[in-house]
Amino acid sequence: MSPAVWDQARIGYDRSQVAVQQAQVALSSAQNTAGDTTVYSPFTGIVTSKRKSTGETVTMMPPTVVLVVQDLSKIEVRVKLAENALNRVNAGGAMKVHFPSLNADRDVSIDRVNPSVDPLNRTVEIVGIIPNDDRSLKSGMLVEVTFPQNGSSSAAPSAAPSVTAVASKP
């Protein structure tokens, strides 16, 4: 083989290797871009609201809400009570929750009493978590809450608090 033919073959081989490397970089870049265009939920749930459509721009800073995903296996009941009720309620205590729309009652343990009082309306938030295995309770339902007091019940504030979904981690 003549040196000129050998040089031509060697140049063709080197060009082919560079083309393969360029294709690998392009593939890696495309895979990264595809990963940046995919949205993953941190938990299993149901998409209840789609806030952005295909082709719309979203950002990480500030974060853009793309979808709202809810896990309704547990429901969180949030009640705002006057601060003078703090001497009657505590974490681990009981509250009775009535869902008028379902005509259903549930006894709920108080999960937490938030540590701060709202300075504007002098209320404290009480939170209870209700198992919802049958998914009959829905996020946003109105409830009536009573707290036992020495064997009797005292009504919660006249405005019924709303029920919100708890996002449980897998």
Mean pLDDT of 24-30: 94
> pLDDT grade, residue 155 (50/70/90)?
very low
Give the per-residue pLDDT at 111.
93
3-class DSSP state for residue 80?
Answer: strand
Whether the pLDDT of residue 156 is over 70: the answer is no
Mean pLDDT of 125-133: 91
Whether the pLDDT of residue 141 is over 70: the answer is yes
Q: Select from 95, 93, 103 the least CA-distant residue to 137.
A: 103
- 79 or 158: whose pLDDT is higher? 79
Neighbours of 78 (CB within 10 A): 15
Q: Select from 98, 101, 100, 165 the least CA-distant residue to 127.
A: 165
3-class DSSP state for residue 150?
Answer: coil
- The CATH architecture one would assign to domain 71-165 is Beta Barrel (2.40)
Give the per-residue pLDDT at 163.
47
Give the per-residue pLDDT at 57.
85
Neighbours of 72 (CB within 10 A): 19
Give the per-residue pLDDT at 59.
85
- CB-CB contact of 39 with 52 (8 Å): no
Give the per-residue pLDDT at 103.
92
pLDDT in tens, 107-118: 999 999 999 999
Work out the percent of the chain whose per-residue pLDDT is above 70: 87
Give the per-residue pLDDT at 27.
95
Could you list the beta-strand ranges (E) of 4-122: 46-50, 67-70, 74-82, 94-99, 104-113
Q: What is the mean pLDDT of the chain?
A: 83
Sequence ranges of the domains in the chain: 1-38, 71-165
Distances in Å between the Cα of 50 and the Cα atoms of 9, 40, 66, 130, 170 are 57, 14, 6, 26, 22
Residue whose token pair is 């019940």: 153
pLDDT in tens, 46-101: 888 899 888 888 888 898 898 888 888 888 899 898 988 888 888 999 999 999 89
- 127 or 38: whose pLDDT is higher? 127
Give the per-residue pLDDT at 150.
52
Neighbours of 75 (CB within 10 A): 27
* d(C-alpha 104, C-alpha 125), whole Å: 23
